[in-house]
Amino acid sequence: MTESAARASIAIVTYPDVQMSAVLGLGDLFTIANRNSRQSGGGVLSVTEVSGRATDDTDGEPFAAVILPPTLKKSRGRNEKTIHEWLRAQHAGGALMCSVCAGAFWLGHSGLLKGRPVTTHWLLEDEFRTAFPDTQVNAEHLLIDDNDIVTAGGLMAWLDMGLFIVNRWLGPQVVSDTARHLLIDPSGREQRNYRSFRPPLTHGDSVILALQHWLEGHVDNEVTVKAMAGRAHLSDRTFLRRFKAATGLTPNTYVQNLRIEKARGLLERTRIPVSAIGWNVGYQDPSAFSRVFRAATGLTAGEYRNRFGVVARGAVTHGLPS
């Protein structure tokens, strides 16, 4: 919903180790949006960089929105009590609280995310769940709007957050004009379009690790739990327990994730027909492959290839026609 305002005040928090490219990029995005808005007689966004170590300098009326950008380092804000108190005060005063990527940790440690749906970078999902078990983490989404709290995942998701802010206060036409200026898509992306399956390999269970290595080259086989347990020389029950303990996944879920990851690679690097790719990664039913791939990535296999493929159209690979 667009909120009309002659001037909406936006705070970008420059906490310790903040990603300055995001801070400056957001400033530039809002500058371009303001220029486009003024041309049509609209309002503007007034942007302030608020130092995480000097939040007491901003006493007074709360901001319309507060943004916590990403960080490229390990900062999580756990002990930044001054910032936590300031964030809670801003929220209590009516500010829209926003985070990008690891910035969600700062909101979490402020106590503002309890029971809330939230997203962050998919690589940080497990760390975030451990730190804040009372949140509803949905890392497949690039942006989650929960009314007074908005979170975005991914280092570059500050673009999505910036356009969200622009839409909320300046309207969809300014979003369109700004996105066109920056040559970016204004909407429609999801984090699951980009995430990769990175199975844990440092769990210390050599038997399960050997099976994982074997699976890497045999996803096209009809791999059953019984077959995997037999290869690991374990009973079905013991195998299921040890596999879940080592990888965090059931064997069937693990194999499905591995197959989809292999399919992504073939779609990106080759022109093998989609039906053949499904067969190559273990799906004998093309419709089943299509359903599973779309559920995992948010895209059809053809859409994924069009967006991420790096092989020229018309190329022939592995002896198969394009």
pLDDT at 198: 85
Q: How confident is the model at residue 56, as a pLDDT?
A: 53
- Of 17-31, 46-60, 145-159, 280-294, the poorest mean pLDDT is in 46-60
What is the structure's pLDDT at 161?
Answer: 97
Confidence label for 59 from pLDDT (cuts 50, 70 and 90): low
- Give the architecture (CATH level 2) of 7-193: 3-Layer(aba) Sandwich (3.40)
* Rounded Cα distance, 262 and 223, in Å: 15
Which residue would you say has higher pLDDT here, 185 or 274? 274
- Which of 114, 121, 157 shows the shortest CA–CA distance to 136? 114
Mean pLDDT of the 30-41 span: 95
Residues, the chain, total? 322
Q: Is the pLDDT of residue 52 over 80?
A: no
Q: Average pLDDT, stretch 76-97?
A: 94
Residues of the chain with CATH 1.10.10.60: 206-308
Q: Would you state the pLDDT for residue 311?
A: 63
**What gap in Å lies between CA 278 and CA 302, rounded to an integer?**
12
pLDDT at residue number 321: 33
- Region(s) of the chain under CATH 3.40.50.880: 7-193
Mean pLDDT (the chain, rounded): 90
27 vs 48: CA distance, rounded Å: 9
- In this prediction, residues 56-75 reach a mean pLDDT of 83
pLDDT tens per residue, range 5-31 = 578 999 999 998 999 999 999 999 999
Residue 10 identity (one-letter amino acid): I
Region 206-308: CATH code:
1.10.10.60
The per-residue pLDDT for range 101-132, each reduced to its tens digit, is: 999 999 999 999 999 999 999 999 999 999 99
What are all long-range contacts of 172-177, with beta carbons under 8 Å and residues at least 24 apart? Answer: 172/2, 173/40, 174/33, 174/36, 174/37, 174/40, 174/42, 175/33, 177/33, 177/36
Q: Which has more pLDDT, 221 or 241?
A: 241
- State residue 220's pLDDT score: 87
**Mean pLDDT of the 195-223 span:** 90
User: Residue 319: its pLDDT value, please?
Assistant: 37
Q: Specify the residue for token string 């673009």.
A: 159
